[in-house]
Copies of this chain bind each other. A is one copy, B any other.
Amino acid sequence: MQSSDEPPYHHGNLRAALIAAADAIIAEKGIEGFSLREAARRAGVSPGAPAHHFGTAVGLLTEVALLGYASLGAALNAVPITDDPATDLRAQALAYVGFALAHAGRFRLMFRPDLVNRDDPRYGAAATAALAGFAGTVARSSGGQGDGMAQVFVVWSSIHGMANLALDGKAQYLFDGATPQQFAAQILPDLLAKSWPFGC
């Protein structure tokens, strides 16, 4: 009996191994570099093995996307809450964009409807759970006035749009060829403080 769970047993906890392998591939090569066969290869099993655990490739990728929402939620929950909702909103926006750039593969996967099973009830739950703290900040920021859902949508859209544009290199075009990382670290904080309507 080994203390490590690397080569677990006869065949082992293949399910977890495949999820980890898929996540690693996506982190290394991006979502377009993923292939089910390579995930199987890394887990040391035959190409047909994943089918029994996940059905299809979408089944496996859905699990990775669920992990992605969990880690996004963790990143958002990690920002300290102050008594100024606007400050918190800026910090959460920065965390959101930072997560998208730091885990580009995961982030892209999370919003790829063709690669994820949206009918899985855990999917919607994971998304709302990830944004729960963020929705709370929006509610505190508005003081309960106005349409709550609309406000969450508007603020989320703004942050999500910044993340996507930065990820796709569009910010690079507007801001003197700054890389996405330079943009997030140097330009975005000032921008949120001075030009972002939700940052007061």
Q: Interface residues, chain A, CB within 8 Å of chain B?
A: 30, 32, 111, 113-114, 118, 124, 127-128, 146-147, 149-154, 156-162, 164-165, 168-171, 173-175, 191, 194-198
- Check if A114 sits within 8 Å of B30, measured CB to CB: yes
By beta carbon, the residue of chain B nearest A110 is B168
**Known contacts A114-B30, A114-B32, A127-B170: A160-B165 contact under CB 8 Å:** yes
- What is the copy number of this chain in the assembly? 2
Q: Which of B127, B161, B173, B195 contacts A150 (CB 8 A)?
A: B195
How many Å lie between the Cα of A168 and that of B157 in the bound state?
A: 12
Interface of A is mostly: helix
Contact of A158 among B128, B146, B151, B161 (CB under 8 A): B161
Q: Which of B146, B153, B169, B197 is A165 in contact with, Cβ under 8 Å?
A: B153
User: Does B153 lie within 8 Å of A174, measured CB to CB?
Assistant: yes
Asked whether B127 lies within 8 Å of A194 as measured between CB atoms, the reply is no
- Docked-complex contact A111 and B164, CB < 8 angstroms: yes
Distance A156 CA – B171 CA, assembled complex (angstroms): 11
Chain B residues lying within 8 Å of A194, measured Cβ to Cβ, are 146-147, 150
Let me know if B173 and A128 touch, CB within 8 A: yes
Of chain B, the residue at the smallest CB distance from A157 is: B161
Name the residue among A114, A157, A196 with the largest chain B CB count within 10 angstroms: A157
A195, chain B: closest CB distance, angstroms: 4
